[in-house]
Structure 1
Amino acid sequence: MTASTPLTDTPHPALQWSDALVLDMPVMDETHQEFVELLAEVVHAPDDLLLPRWSTLIAHTQDHFDREDQWMQDTGFAAGNCHATQHKIILQVMREGEARGHSGELAVVRQMARELGLWFPQHAQSMDASLALHLRSAGYDPATGTMAQPERLPQAQIHGCGGVTCSDTATA
């Protein structure tokens, strides 16, 4: 395969939306479905559209992560929690890929797209699922930022991802 070959006929198909990615939090699920669709557009992009589609995915991912990070901040997560840190690292790597793509290294962007397709389900089914459960337990409405049951939030800041396997102070 050459760097100019789109990945439509490779043994690494694009990530597809499925019920396994549904977290029963509509605003999060809609954003995740958009991410999956934009990632598929990158994976299947011809060379002339690869970088514009990658840039669109980065902008979407920035907004996506910013919203989740705000929800975490609103509901008792420490600023440096592992979920937000992972967001920061993923965006940093995506931007590095964009720079390398602009220098002609399209294969790097294509590899990153494949890797995102492997990373995202694990992230969604662990960290995001824990966050969704945490938000529901406090009655947090992501659309308005209001909380129906703030007394259900932990007294100490959450430093892990919000799941019981990641933090002793988690509520999930």
Structure 2
Amino acid sequence: MSSPESSPFASHSGIPLGYTPMDDLHEEFLALVQALAQAPDHAVADTLDALALNARAHFDAEDQWMIESDFPAQGCHIDEHAAVMRSIEGVQRRVLHGEHEAARRLAQALVEWFPGHADYLDSALAHWMCKRRLGGTPVVLRRHIEPFVTAAVSR
């Protein structure tokens, strides 16, 4: 994403998760969600199509990691990806009929959905992948750690 301040996900502390291939997929996905939220009517269909292609590749990659590594919670995670793709595809059909606002509502729904998905399902997968491929858990360094330090000191 170009600027964390302009992102609807700027306050979400779960990004990045510490598994670089996943973090890269998330960054691309979030940039496209933001682009869709801001797209003028004449660009909504193309922007939504780009998001759909990206989401399919993103979800397919994560699904493949889960299957190949025998990730224990793969069923619910894969099902959630499939549900989101069905939503995206449904909105694509509506946009073909000129319902541009449906795409903006989808972008808002993804803004609301993604942090929980990343915090619960993707973070577990990132941990699993790092442990299996690298022998340890992910380490994520964040630029803005002052609130955490302040909270820990004040206890």
1:20 equivalenced with 2:14 (yes/no): yes
Structure 1, unpaired ranges of 5+:
1-12, 141-147, 150-172
The aligned residue for residue 41 of structure 1 is 35
Q: Report the Cα offset of residue 21 of structure 1.
A: 1.2
| Residues 127-164 of structure 1: per-residue CA shift (max 9 Å, x gap) | 00000111112126xxxxxxx79xxxxxxxxxxxxxxx
The aligned residue for residue 138 of structure 1 is 132
The higher relative CO (CA closer than 8 Å, separation ≥ 6) is in 2
Contact 2:14–2:118 (CA under 8 A) maintained in structure 1: no
1:102 equivalenced with 2:103 (yes/no): no
Give the % identical residues: 29
Structure 2, unpaired ranges of 5+:
1-5, 137-155
Contact 2:15–2:118 (CA under 8 A) maintained in structure 1: yes
TM-score by length of 2: 0.77
Aligned length: 130
Hey, what's the Cα distance between the residues in 1 that align with 2:116 and 2:71?
A: 20
Name the CA shift for 1:134/1:34 in 2 (closer, same or farther; >3 Å).
same
Q: Report the Cα offset of residue 20 of structure 1.
A: 3.1
Q: Match of 2:112, as an amino acid?
A: L
Q: Match of 2:105, as an amino acid?
A: Q
The aligned residue for residue 54 of structure 1 is 48
Q: Report the Cα offset of residue 26 of structure 1.
A: 1.0
The aligned residue for residue 9 of structure 1 is none
1:125 equivalenced with 2:85 (yes/no): no
TM-score by length of 1: 0.69
Note the aligned Cα RMSD (angstroms).
2.2
Query: Hey, which of these two has a bigger chunk of helix by percent?
Result: 2
